[in-house]
Every structure is written in structure tokens, then in C-alpha cells.
Amino acid sequence: MIERKEPFCERLKTIMDKKGVKSVDLAKALNVTEGTISQYRSGYTEPKRDRLTQIANFFNVSPTWLMGIDEELNYPEDNERKLARLTKYAEYLHILDKFMELSERDKQTVSTLIDTLSK
């Protein structure tokens, strides 16, 4: 059996805190509920292999580090900016969702306002 240095839930909390990623943003990026992320963070459950790979890719860490097998956390600095951009995109998706809920008239008003502000 493979020995873990630290449980998955602790590694997930560590990388989320280090990267400043909120549960809601991770949930949106993975297309899961915040409750699922909460279960992962609490240690109630662990993700299956495909979801683990998605999480590792999102944070640009190895799945073995995330599972607590590898001790060292190594990732290129370049990916700090990539993660910040992905997190920002998750915020933009929230705005887009709200926009799509508007009436056609309100959408036009918002579009006109954006055009005016961007000049």
C-alpha cells in the first residue's frame, strides 16, 4: 500500500489557500456543486480519478502531490498567472449567467451601457 504524507483534504485546502481559490470558483471550474467541494475539503469523500486529474490540472500540480503521496509541491511560476486568469474567468461566468437571466430589453440596456463605458 502507498503511504500518504498528508490526506487529500489537507492538500486541497493547502493549494486552494495558496492560490486564493474559493470553493465556489473551483466548483464552477469543475462543473460540480459547492457541496462536492465541501465534502472534498472536509475529508468526507475523495474524488474519483478523472475528477482528481481535473483538480490537479486546474491547480497545475501533480495528482500524486494532491493525493498526499509526493512531498514536494513544484509548479512553474508561469502557471500562477494562468490560475489567476482561470479564477477571473469563473467570476466572469457568474456575470454572464446573471446577464442571461435578464429580459431582452434589460440585455440591450446593459449592452448599451457597456458600449458607452468602453469608449
User: What DSSP assignment string belongs to 34-63?
Assistant: HHHHHHHHHTS----HHHHHHHHHHHT--H
* Chain centroid to CA 64: 18
Q: pLDDT tens digit string along 19-74?
A: 999 999 999 999 999 999 999 999 999 999 889 999 998 998 888 888 887 666 65
* Chain centroid to CA 117: 30
In the CATH hierarchy, which fold is given to the domain comprising 8-117?
Answer: 434 Repressor (Amino-terminal Domain) (1.10.260)
HSE-CB of 34 using CA atoms within 13 angstroms: 5
Q: pLDDT tens digit string along 61-107?
A: 888 888 887 666 655 445 666 667 667 777 777 787 888 888 999 98
